[in-house]
Copies of this chain bind each other. A is one copy, B any other.
Amino acid sequence: MLEVEIKARVASLREVEERLRQRGARYLGEEEQMDAYFAHPCRDFAATDEALRLRRAGGRVTLTYKGRKLDAVTKTREEVSLAVESYQAAREILTKLGFEEVALVKKLRRSYRLGEYLVELDSVAELGSFVEVEKKAEEYSPEELVAFLSSLGIGREAVERRSYLELLLGEGDG
């Protein structure tokens, strides 16, 4: 099962949020997320398009491996997530193994559910406002996600394929 995902930069989250509410989207909540990203001791994640993230949010800590992106438009990747008990211990084990923290992404995320879509409205420190749309799928269709974004008033030109990490580090394929 893949997590099909697309992201777009927007000038204002409020307009998107109003459209979501008009269409009957269900508000799931707001969460502050602190994501530490790590460099691999001997693999260039920027080149392999992978990532390792340790997230603190709502009292939970999650370690997530992200594989390379699977198409040229969306940011669909294979992901493996693991709930862990302690941020400090996880960080220390990673550091002892040679993983180095390279960036910290802080954001406020407001989430909505609209049918099979999870819509996340992100205010990201140092980067600005973004809308992420996700759905679980066996197969993925980039165009379906582009069409859904469009129905929220977000054009294809706003699509941002780079991760927050890449944007912060000034990397990626644009």
Chain A residues near B (Cβ < 8 Å)? 40-43, 50, 52, 63, 65, 67, 80-86, 89-90, 92-93, 96-98
**Is A80 touching B84 in the complex (CB atoms < 8 A)?**
no
What are the residues of chain B within 8 A of A86 when measuring CB–CB? 82-83
The interface residues of chain B lying within 8 Å CB-to-CB of A85 are 82-84
**Interface SS of A by simple majority:** mixed
* Cα of A76 to Cα of B22 in the assembled complex, Å: 63
From the candidates B50, B67, B83, B97, name the one contacting A84 in the complex (CB within 8 A): B83
With the chains together, A65 CA to B90 CA distance in Å? 10
**Bound CA–CA A42/B84 (angstroms):** 25
27 contacts across the A-B interface (CB closer than 8 A): A40-B41, A40-B97, A40-B98, A41-B41, A41-B42, A41-B43, A42-B42, A42-B98, A43-B97, A43-B98, A52-B97, A63-B84, A63-B93, A65-B96, A65-B97, A67-B96, A80-B89, A80-B96, A81-B89, A82-B85, A82-B86, A82-B89, A82-B90, A82-B93, A83-B84, A83-B85, A84-B84
Query: Which of A42, A43, A65, A80 has the most chain B CB within a 10 Å cutoff?
Result: A80
Q: Smallest CB-CB separation from A64: which chain B residue? A: B93
Distance (Å) between the CB of A98 and the closest chain B CB? 7
Apart from A41-B42, A42-B98: 12 A-B pairs, beta carbons within 8 A: A42-B42, A43-B98, A50-B96, A63-B84, A65-B97, A80-B89, A80-B92, A80-B96, A81-B89, A82-B84, A82-B89, A84-B85
